[in-house]
Amino acid sequence: MVAQTRRMMPPIEYVRLSDEAAGLDGIIAIHSTARGPAAGGCRLWTYDDPEAAMRDAFRLAEGMSYKNAMAHLPLGGGKAVLRRPAGDFDRRALFEAFGEAVEKLDGRYVTAEDVGTGVADMECVARHTRHVAGRTALPGLAGGDPSPWTALGVFEAMKAAVEFRYGSGLAGVTVAISGVGNVGAGLARLLHGAGAKLVVADIDPLRCARLAEETGARIMGIAGIAAVEAEVFAPCALGGALDDATVEALHAKVVCGAANNQLAAPHVADLLMERGIAYAPDYVANAGGIINVAAEYLGESESEVRGRVMAIGPRMRELLDTAASDGLPPPVVADRMAEELMRPETVAA
């Protein structure tokens, strides 16, 4: 059984971007504005052809609609995908031209950084539009590095998933973390503070060594981390960490991490369920970053960010309870909850 319910709706609007002089070639896709302006980062990546960039933009914009809805943000979903020019290029000119394109959408799309873009690029965008976040944080207001918020959200989601599956808190529980970069390391520190035991793996041995010194974590090679004896597996590196073989080898009965698109294929959600593993859907657990980025755009305070991030735990518990009582994989329930939150009747209520 492949219990996939997401409907893959095309975007409601998209704009092709082309400015040869500035090196701009890409697309802005607006998947949904049901809950508010379509928000989602701007990716700069190498694509073979414009169609590949367009497919990625549509897919990523849809993902943002679900993520933003599940985080209860007053935002729809969108994404910008820019094709990285070959060779040297004028980065400032490219992002200024992109800023002009965002401005033309008159607030229907809000951008921020994503893979391949950073704060300096968003500052260039901001010269031409105010519909941009991910800029330098202003005192007293939300903004800045989203990673600590992502780590906190995953930590809260994990607490809820462990309570659901094992009926316990995190103290004494062993968590295996794959990828201890910005989010994985932050998560490790929070878990250490809560009395959890850690096993960590990363392709960068220095990152593991630093964390081991700080938290007493045991270091493993990346090949064996998923199968290590632990109650929780936390994928915090790249996407696609969970495939048939990994799920077969998993010892942990809870999977909860920060990485986007953790399931290598939709049917993996069924495999996890069949093996009695509680899977915390990635886009629900890792919403802390977008919550922080959204708060910057909406002019909210840090305490409002904290409130929204802390709500991830109870939301995850409700989701896992519903999945168990309906006999469905959690990602299917997550998509249904998000679709409900995008319905005009729900938004109006």
* Strand duo 197-201 + 174-178: pairing: parallel
Element containing residue 12 per DSSP (H, E): none
How far apart are CB 150 and ligand NAD at their closest, in Å?
A: 4
In whole angstroms, what is the distance from residue 264 CA to residue 282 CA? 12
* Burial grade of 212 (CB within 10 A; 0-12, 13-18, 19 or more): middle
Given the residues 79, 159, 197, 253, the one annotated as active site: 79
* Strand duo 278-279 + 254-255: pairing: parallel
Q: Tell me which residue has its CB nearest to ligand NAD.
A: 181
How far apart are CB 186 and ligand NAD at their closest, in Å?
A: 8
In whole angstroms, what is the distance from residue 216 CA to residue 270 CA? 35
- Which is closer to ligand NAD, CB of 28 or CB of 293? 293
- The CA-atom distances, in angstroms, between 102 and each of 88, 98, 179 are 24, 6, 34
Only segment of 72-80, 156-164, 230-238, 304-312 that touches ligand NAD (CB under 6 A): 230-238
Question: Is 79 annotated in the active site?
Answer: yes
8 A C-beta contact, residue 26 and residue 83: yes
Chosen residue from 40, 143, 146, 329 binding ligand NAD by CB under 6 A:
146
- Which is closer to ligand NAD, CB of 111 or CB of 150? 150
User: Binding residue per annotation — 182?
Assistant: yes
Name the phi and psi angles at 138, rounded to 5. Answer: -95, 145
How far apart are CB 183 and ligand NAD at their closest, in Å?
A: 4
8 A C-beta contact, residue 215 and residue 185: no
Q: Cα 208 vs. chain centroid, distance in angstroms?
A: 23
How far apart are CB 157 and ligand NAD at their closest, in Å?
A: 12
* Burial grade of 156 (CB within 10 A; 0-12, 13-18, 19 or more): buried
Find the binding residues for ligand NAD in span 241-270 (CB under 6 A): 258-260
Only segment of 156-164, 233-241, 242-250, 295-303 that touches ligand NAD (CB under 6 A): 233-241
Beta bridge partners of 175: 198, 232
- Which is closer to ligand NAD, CB of 188 or CB of 332? 188
- Which is closer to ligand NAD, CB of 255 or CB of 259? 259
Radius of gyration of the chain (CA): 20
Only segment of 118-126, 198-206, 247-255, 321-329 that touches ligand NAD (CB under 6 A): 198-206
How far apart are CB 259 and ligand NAD at their closest, in Å?
A: 4
8 A C-beta contact, residue 281 and residue 309: no
Chosen residue from 128, 207, 253, 308 binding ligand NAD by CB under 6 A:
207
Q: Per-residue x/- marks for ligand NAD, 288-307, CB under 6 A? A: -x------------------
Contacting positions for ligand NAD (CB under 6 A): 146-147, 150, 178-184, 201-204, 207, 222, 236-239, 258-260, 286, 289
Annotated binding site for NAD(+): 179-184
Kindly list the catalytic residues.
Answer: 79
